Amino acid sequence: SNAGRVADIHHLLPESGLHIVAEHFQKVDHQLLAPPEATLETIRTVHSHVQALSQCRRFVRAAGLKPVVHADTAGAAAEVAGRGDPTEAAIASRLAGEIYGLQILKSDIQDAPHNVTRFLVMAADPIHPDPDDGPVVTTFVFRVRSVPAALYKALGGFATNGVNLTKLESYILDGRFTVAQFYADIEGHPDHRMVRLALEELSFFSREVRILGVYPAHPFRRTPADPEGQGEG
């Protein structure tokens, strides 16, 4: 989403033993929920997941509310409903409001009206999509060798072979700044000649390359970019 990826997800994915088999893009719509007695004037704190709070940062600041982080948005709504304190509100979905009997004090408070969250669908067994049956995404992690310009050289094959790299993120392993792992998404199937050549070059300059999944690209990827920005997490 426009608040970035969910923390720690890239640490969990490679060690989960699962494979990515699909992706889903979900439009983000956040509501300000509160007990029936509350008003915009009575609330002082707002409870939600850190991602939702980040996605509604402008509203939270403008309203002068104190953010309180929870494990998830629905859980925050449940706790606010349970206490029934008119000084507390939650940022969550309309469905959460209906389930827990909370009123919507303000609708669609997210900063970016066209923001989306990208979800990955995991399974115990990988899938093997036909390389010629529509757009495909390949997701992998890799560690480069400890040599000068290693990352530049490792990624050079994607440029020279015309393979589109749509996502690249680095994160530190075990708290050591000398060991970094990279997470990447590319357009294309490993059976495509250009992708195969790019991955071979990546492997040559890397200590390890591990493919996490090869799966059909979601139709949202073909949606023209909105000028206000659409993110993924």
Amino acid at 113: P
What's the CA gap between 70 and 89, in Å, rounded? Answer: 12
Q: Tokens 């020279």 map to which residue?
A: 160
Catalytic residue selected from 117, 140, 142, 205: 117
Among 38, 129, 123, 46, CA closest to 84: 38
CA pair distance 196, 158, nearest whole angstrom: 10
Burial state string for 36-63 with b = 16 or more CB within 10 A and e = fewer than 16: eebeeeebeebbbbebbbbbbeebbeeb
Q: For residue 231, which of 143, 109, 112, 131 has the smallest C-alpha distance?
A: 112
Report the distance separating Cα 81 and Cα 112, nearest Å. Answer: 27
For 2, phi then psi, to 5°, come to -70, -5
Give the Å distances, CA to CA, from 32 to 10, 12, 65, 96.
30, 31, 12, 11
User: Catalytic one among 42, 45, 87, 119?
Assistant: 119
- The question of whether 138 is a catalytic residue gets the answer no
117 flagged as catalytic: yes
Catalytic residues: 117, 119
